[in-house]
Structure 1
Amino acid sequence: MREVTATGQSVNDAVESALTQLHATRDQVEIEILDEGKKGLFGLFGNRSSVVKVSLVDNPIEETRNFLLNVATKMGIVIEITVTERDREVEYQLSGKDIALLIGKRGQTLNSLQYLAQLVFNRHTKQFRTIIVDAENYRSRRKDTLEQLAIKLADKAIKTRKDVALEPMPSYERKIIHTVLVKNRNVKTFSAGEEPFRHLVISPLKKEQVANARV
């Protein structure tokens, strides 16, 4: 965080001087008045200048965007980033020629980028917001795949009468599968293991459990 201390004939003059030095606008800074100053007799004797400390506040959205651009550059990938804000969520949509390298196998690289992006964002603000890093709408396609997988593996659990453990995946992907199967009265889902190996288990219900569930 950059900051400057500036003086002026008034608080406003001092603030404007600081903003000029920081090349910033008022909505990008925090202002602390150190001395409001004093006008002397007849404006000539006993004058005291106003003193302020103006600090340039980091923009967490831009800092996170710069982080993602920097990672891509170091990987030799040229990307464009579209940022979308909605409620308490910020989405970074990545696009580019070699975007598959940033997605990785089953989205593992993309998930790692999202985890790191969340850390970067949180480091620059005290206001929590959910960070989503996507690449050419991969997450939408992944959601469709997971929903189909959930139905398929639930059928397998019911037919074999055995638990079916899925591969480790982030919490929001586990939630997708859970949401699909929550109305299936023949199975239940639960998470097992510790991060980063936490995974979802689809477990068939016993006949008496199924009967109770339908009551």
Structure 2
Amino acid sequence: MLREAIATGDTVEQAFETACRELGVESHEAQFDILEMPVKKKFGLFGGTPAKVRVYVKSSPADKAAEYLKDVLAHMGLTGVEVSVTEQEGGALLSLTGEDIGFVIGHRGETLDALQYLTGLVANHVDDSYYRITIDIGNYREKRKETLESLGKRIAAKAVKTGRNCPLEPMNPYERRIIHTAVQTVEGAKSWSEGEDTNRHVVIGPEGGERPQPQRRPGGKGGRRQPQQDSRGRRGNGDRFPRGNGGSGQQQRTQASGAQQGTAPSHPQQKVKAPLYGRIDVKKNNPEK
């Protein structure tokens, strides 16, 4: 994509400098064509024409993306942010430096991903070929990559051990590729993507598919013990009468059987205690005598 400006001046140099100022570029960044050479006035009064040049600058997708990103950050109130451009194969890395720009990352990089997506659209309007833009702040991308690699390997090992599929949270295509690459390093594990649009996520599972899980028997380990039933279908501990202070259930059944047959239960004889002194009658004095 070309940006150009046409300017005039008394000399070619003056016209060139004027056009560079209009484009906002340095003189070494621009190229120019001379459209008209200057013609001096006759006798210093009549005739004469100024120099006319066309100055143009070929904007790369990275430059266009950086210009757009600076404009967006300025509308967010970040005017002191510096954007450094590093050309990469098939794209460019835009690194942001400045004070109080941590909020641009957002929750798990969501705000940063949104800026990266919009900036990539602008960059791909420059040329017809695909141009990948990556935006980074404080080496966040590298730290996030290490976290995702560790997560992918850990969940893959868990899937192989348990024989179950483990779905992860929705991620963007870049982060899903990191997970897939990490899972490939774990023997016996595989990964694939499911869902659509914002719900697209990675599922990690064993290579042979999920293994059938053993079913727990009712009343087994950790379950509630079922009460036993006697021959009459009654639940309990096998005794008709509850055990208490009165003795065992067998003794209580024996006493109950004796009561039904009219036999009084035997009780130990109680000793009757006699008074220490005999009965003493107190004579009352007759007041008449």
Q: TM-score, normalised by structure 1?
A: 0.70
Distance 1:20 1:176, change over 3 A: same
Distance 1:56 1:190, change over 3 A: same
User: How big is the shift at 1:104?
Assistant: 0.7
Percent identical across equivalent pairs?
39
Distance (Å, rounded) in 1 between the aligned partners of 2:66 and 2:140: 18
Secondary structure of 1:109's partner?
Answer: helix
Q: Which of residues 95, 117, 120 in structure 2 aligns to 1:118? A: 120
Q: How does 1:78-157 map to 2 (within 5 A)?
A: 78-157=80-159
Q: How does 1:1-215 map to 2 (within 5 A)?
A: 2-3=3-4, 22-23=19-20, 28=30, 56-77=57-78, 78-206=80-208
Secondary structure of 1:166's partner?
Answer: strand
Q: CA RMSD in A?
A: 3.4
Residues 81-140 of structure 1, C-alpha deviations (whole Å, 9 max, x = no match) = 221113323101112222221111111111111111111111122343321111110011
User: How big is the shift at 1:181?
Assistant: 1.4
Secondary structure of 1:196's partner?
Answer: helix
Q: Is the 8 A contact 1:103 1:109 kept in 2?
A: yes
Distance (Å, rounded) in 2 between the aligned partners of 1:18 and 1:195: 53
Q: Is the 8 A contact 1:22 1:56 kept in 2?
A: no
Distance (Å, rounded) in 2 between the aligned partners of 1:86 and 1:169: 24
The structure that is strand-richer by fraction is 1
For structure 2, the residue ranges without an aligned partner over 5 or more in a row are 36-51, 212-289
Distance (Å, rounded) in 2 between the aligned partners of 1:153 and 1:61: 37
Secondary structure of 1:125's partner?
Answer: coil
Q: TM-score, normalised by structure 2?
A: 0.54
Q: Is the 8 A contact 1:114 1:133 kept in 2?
A: yes
Structure possessing the higher relative contact order (Cα contacts under 8 Å, 6 or more residues apart) = 1
User: How big is the shift at 1:202?
Assistant: 0.6
User: How big is the shift at 1:4?
Assistant: 5.8
The one-letter amino acid of 1:58's match is S
Q: How many residues align?
A: 186
The one-letter amino acid of 1:146's match is L
Distance 1:59 1:100, change over 3 A: same
User: How big is the shift at 1:53?
Assistant: 7.5
The one-letter amino acid of 2:189's match is V
Residues 142-161 of structure 1, C-alpha deviations (whole Å, 9 max, x = no match) = 01111111122113323432
Secondary structure of 2:120's partner?
Answer: helix
Distance 1:28 1:199, change over 3 A: farther
Distance (Å, rounded) in 2 between the aligned partners of 1:30 and 1:124: 21
Distance 1:99 1:143, change over 3 A: same
User: How big is the shift at 1:76?
Assistant: 1.8
Rg larger for: 2
Q: Is the 8 A contact 1:169 1:198 kept in 2?
A: yes
| More off after superposition, 107-116 vs 149-158 | 149-158
Distance (Å, rounded) in 1 between the aligned partners of 2:174 and 2:28: 38
Distance (Å, rounded) in 2 between the aligned partners of 1:66 and 1:203: 44
Distance 1:56 1:146, change over 3 A: same
Q: Is the 8 A contact 1:143 1:176 kept in 2?
A: yes
Which residue of structure 2 aligns with residue 45 of structure 1?
A: none
Distance (Å, rounded) in 2 between the aligned partners of 1:130 and 1:205: 33
